[in-house]
Chain A
Amino acid sequence: PLPPLPRPHPAKGIHKCRKMGQDIRNTVGNVPMEWYQDYPHIGYNLDGKKIFKPIRNKDELDEFLDKMENPDYWRTVHDKMTASDIRLTDEQVDLVHRLQKGQFGDVNFNEYEPSVDFFTNEVMIHPVTNRPQDKRSFIPSLIEKEKVSKLVHAIKMGWIKPRKPKETTPQYYDLWAKEDPNAILGRHKMHVPAPKMRLPGHEESYNPPPEYLLTEEERLVWEQQDAEDRKLPFLPQKHSCLRAVPAFSRFIHERFERCLDLYLCPRQRKMRVNVNPEDLIPKLPKPKDLQPFPTTMSLVYRGHTSLVRCISASPTGQWLVSGSDDFTVRFWEVNTGRCMKTLEVGGAVKSVAWNPNPAVCLVAVCFEHTVLLLNPSLGDRLVVSSTDQLITAYEPPEEDKEQAVTWALSEGLEHNKGHRLTLTHPKAVKQVVWHGKGDYLSSVMPDNSSNLQVLIHQVSKRRTQNPFRKNKGLVQCVSFHPLRPYFFVATQRYVRVYNLIKQELTKKLMTNCKWISSMAIHPGGDNLICGSYDCRLAWFDLDLSTKPYKMLRHHKKALRGVAYHRNYPLFASGADDGSVIVCHGMVYNDLLQNPLIVPVKVLKGHQITHDLGVLDVTFHPTQPWVFSSGADTTIRLFT
């Protein structure tokens, strides 16, 4: 193979010129000498003959021997260019030493020679040149001005942006920025340390104090107990010295339990929401700010001998009527508790209702199959006599229609006792209720199998109507709307609202109760409360929905009676647990504002007799007082 041709080198010419005189042995120039490694020659001479390398046949051993024996070995260098060894002269060695020390190569060079100040800094009176100053040295440069104005224009036009301020805050790379918290690494952050083992106590000592040792009985008890029930998992034992302590027999067992502890420990952090329990309670005004409402028991009306089922207050608030299971109706003076009158009727009185019209003095009483209209002869004599006139002024119509009930005028002895009209129903009557005007009254005969459950009577015309053609369930109670011609019928689970003029069902309220016991209509007419035997009181906002606006579960036992106050924002409920709960129930004229319901007072006083407590509640028509009648034969007034 041909030896590689010498390659042109940019520095070759200069190199050659410089080296020409000194060294002619290298003719290949500055090329890597490895190229000639396997050849006996390096380059060619002018005659085209090979220039042969000096014969080198030194191996490592020769090299070593040479190193050991040649005293000039240390000053011999190998010239790769010519592949020859050169022995440095003394001057050359000296030069190398100086260069190694950082001194100048020239021995004769004095680096500390004093400097000659050619151009003095002092201003001489005779300048070197006497040339006058150029004009351009003292007028502003037009070229500079042109350049500057160009830059200014560029900055104004926004072509050049001012340099961004350097961010001085050090920037760090967030190693965990994109980390998935559910990844394995993320779990380390949620590390829950394993439960620690309990530290050993005195009883675990090899020589425990005597009070930690079990007595014989305790030991027997311990042995009979299940392992889970034992207070200590081992028996404390006493040894005289540590040497006498045997091997720990329960070691495997205990380790196993520890592993179970670690393994089964719930290693999950519970994300507990920190909620102040106070915040969960809705903000209600304090009962103190909602006065007046009844707070204490003031009067007890005693006289009945059996449970008092029903009470009703006169529209003036001076009298109270009560009906009882001892077959009597009693009239009471409210402010003294005096029983003014006692009337015997022929059965347990189920319901009484004082006529709400103050110009009429009539009380409707129902017992067994009869509804009796009484004139108690209390209050203004004029009203009493005009009521009697109203009843006797009736003229029978031309043609007699068959009516569901028979109307009979009382005379003689019964008239003197106060009886005025007797309405004999075909079935047992449970409830009687007046319309707000005082001319109509409605009676309820609960019966699951017929449509003759509710009757509406007109007293002045002695007429009776059956408003319903179909049986929609067992009727519990009925009520008239205080202002509009609506009629409320409560069956076991629903309250139906009928329009009496259009004769149609307008609304059906779902009470979510098992069995409705009582019902009361707010004097404004847009709200209704329902008490039920399953301890609940449901407040309906008739404009809002057919579902209860609020469900109150304050009573422990079945509710028996509910009532609204006519003027004050109060309602009360009486239950079998012997208590009356008075609540503030504010209804706003603003349709957007929901009624405010705050329970304000629990009134206790009635004793529970035969598992019955309070049977009826009613409010005083003008004062914030509530009456309650109970199974303990008393009526109580709370003021």
Chain B
Amino acid sequence: MSQLQTRFFTDNKKYSVDDVPFSIPAASEVQELSNVINKLLEAKNGSHSQIEFDFLVRGQFLRTSLSNHMEAEGISTEDVVEIEYVERFTAPQPEECMMHDDWISSVEADSEWILTGSYDKTARIWSLEGKAVMTVAGHTDVVKDVAWVRRDGLTSLLLTASLDQTILLWEWNSERNKLKARHCCRGHAGSVDTIATDPTLATEEEEEVEEPPSRPRKKQKTEQLGLTRTPLMTLSGHNEAVSSVLWLDSEEICSASWDHTIRLWDAETGSVKTTLTGSKVFNHISYSPLCRRLASGSTDRHVRLWDPRSKDGSLVLLSLTSHSGWVTAVKWAPSHEHQLVSGSLDNLVKLWDTRSCKTPLYDVSAHEDKVLCVDWTDSRVRHHLYSPGETTHI
């Protein structure tokens, strides 16, 4: 079998090896390469313990044998191959299981607290250890989405959106564990399915409706003083239910809908800037400010990456295909520009790396039923599932 000249390098100082070319059998796969690195590290450092590595050749994850990969990528086998290696992400085990009485519709986490909305008409605040701290009860119907708005010190502002067509703004003092409903936002003619807050302006909030396709409308509301708020601006243009909304930055809003389009709106004027057209219903979108890509989960089982700045409006950069059910949730990693996590109705949560579009990095199959939403905190994945009401936190 032929041999290949390779050079290994890594960003992680902890696992760096000498910068000398090695001769590696061309048929070797990830496991053999990983063994090679481990041997080298052991020779360098006696107390090294076995670690699984993943390998990148020219920015693409190695998934087959080295020769097959290079043939597929069209890399010459004559030169010295530069191989980057990173520590492998192993499939996480559920650490905590938070039991809700009913299905959980949404989850949002910040660095200390987790906020969940449930079909039992309440939202709950949990500590990172999985202890229920507070139950937010006030809606007359199912809570569909929740969001943190702002936190200064011990006081937090949070939003809950519900099927009863209202959004409630709550103020929560974490020390005294006291909750006060501050405002009620009305204006939607259907159930409010998704809300998003502007990350830069803490005084502004945003809500979004899922509603009858016969009355297409999308509403944005901004907080004013008073108990009941009405929308500041209504963004209308979608023909069918709006499934997801988010802020790209403080001037741009992005929304995905069941009418197969993703639209970018100008927050100042409320007009459509760009329309991205897909072929299937969009369930959820997520935006990463690091790589400036939109990820969309749709009913045709693919996760697609879009460039929101492209003018022609129909450019799919990448399709990630591995789910076997509707992709109900996608979320970019807040600190990693290549990683995103997706949840699907096939009970799986998958972690993807955009450098490996064929297969996900790992599957989390701890759920027994449909996954409705996922969220990340820094270097941690939190995801969330549906019918038995489990929240798993790694």
A622-B190 in contact (CB<8A): no
Query: With contacts A315-B214, A338-B119 known, is A298 near B325, CB below 8 A?
Result: yes
Query: With contacts A298-B299, A338-B119 known, is A380 near B211, CB below 8 A?
Result: yes
B189-A382 in contact (CB<8A): yes
B258-A622 in contact (CB<8A): yes
- Interface size on A, as a range, is 20 to 34
A599 within 8 A of partner (CB): no
B345-A298 in contact (CB<8A): yes
B370-A316 in contact (CB<8A): no
Q: Interface readout for A309-345 with B: 1 if CB under 8 Å, 0 if not?
A: 0000001111000000000000000011110100000
Q: Interface readout for A378-396 with B: 1 if CB under 8 Å, 0 if not?
A: 0111100000000000000
Q: How far is the CA of A296 from the CA of B300 in the complex (A)?
A: 9
A622 closest partner in B (C-beta) = B213
Q: How far is the CA of A524 from the CA of B240 in the complex (A)?
A: 22
A337-B370 in contact (CB<8A): yes
Smallest Cβ distance from A620 to chain B, in angstroms? 10
Smallest Cβ distance from A183 to chain B, in angstroms? 70
Q: How far is the CA of A299 from the CA of B165 in the complex (A)?
A: 25
Q: How far is the CA of A337 from the CA of B119 in the complex (A)?
A: 12
Cβ 8 A contact of B210, one of A296, A318, A623 = A318
A181 within 8 A of partner (CB): no
Q: How far is the CA of A340 from the CA of B144 in the complex (A)?
A: 13
Q: How far is the CA of A295 from the CA of B131 in the complex (A)?
A: 43
B372 within 8 A of partner (CB): yes
Smallest Cβ distance from B140 to chain A, in angstroms? 10
B138 within 8 A of partner (CB): no
Cβ 8 A contact of A292, one of B165, B213, B279, B283 = B279
A377 closest partner in B (C-beta) = B141
A358-B214 in contact (CB<8A): yes
B326 within 8 A of partner (CB): yes
Give the B interface residue count (CB, 8 A): 32
Determine the chain A residues whose CB is within 8 A of the CB of B306 once the complex forms. none
Smallest Cβ distance from B239 to chain A, in angstroms? 8
B370-A380 in contact (CB<8A): no
Determine the chain B residues whose CB is within 8 A of the CB of A382 once the complex forms. 189
B165-A381 in contact (CB<8A): yes
Q: How far is the CA of A318 from the CA of B211 in the complex (A)?
A: 8
Query: With contacts A299-B345, A381-B165 known, is A316 near B212, CB below 8 A?
Result: yes
Q: Interface readout for B176-204 with A: 1 if CB under 8 Å, 0 if not?
A: 00000000000001110000000000000
B109 within 8 A of partner (CB): no
A546 within 8 A of partner (CB): no
B372-A623 in contact (CB<8A): no
A336-B386 in contact (CB<8A): yes
Query: With contacts A337-B370, A379-B190, A382-B189 known, is A639 near B326, CB below 8 A?
Result: yes
B190-A380 in contact (CB<8A): yes
Smallest Cβ distance from A399 to chain B, in angstroms? 39
Query: With contacts A380-B189, A381-B165 known, is A318 near B281, CB below 8 A?
Result: no
B214-A623 in contact (CB<8A): no
Determine the chain B residues whose CB is within 8 A of the CB of A381 once the complex forms. 164-165
A380-B212 in contact (CB<8A): yes
A318-B241 in contact (CB<8A): yes
Q: Interface readout for B310-326 with A: 1 if CB under 8 Å, 0 if not?
A: 00000000000000011
Q: How far is the CA of A298 from the CA of B299 in the complex (A)?
A: 8
Determine the chain A residues whose CB is within 8 A of the CB of B280 once the complex forms. 292
A337 closest partner in B (C-beta) = B370
Smallest Cβ distance from B345 to chain A, in angstroms? 7
A316-B214 in contact (CB<8A): yes
Q: Can you add 19 more A-B contacts, CB < 8 Å, to A298-B299, A315-B214, A639-B300?
A: A292-B279, A292-B280, A298-B345, A316-B190, A316-B212, A316-B214, A317-B212, A317-B213, A335-B283, A336-B386, A337-B370, A338-B103, A338-B142, A358-B214, A358-B215, A380-B165, A381-B164, A382-B189, A622-B240
8 A-B pairs with the lowest CB-CB distances in the bound complex, closest first: A316-B212, A358-B214, A380-B189, A622-B213, A639-B299, A298-B326, A380-B190, A622-B240
B: residues with CB less than 8 A from A are: 103, 105, 119, 142, 164-165, 189-191, 210-215, 240-241, 243, 258, 279-281, 283, 299-301, 325-326, 345, 370, 372, 386
Can you give 14 contacting A-B residue pairs, CB < 8 Å?
A: A316-B190, A316-B213, A317-B240, A318-B212, A336-B370, A338-B142, A358-B212, A358-B215, A379-B190, A380-B189, A380-B212, A621-B213, A622-B258, A639-B300
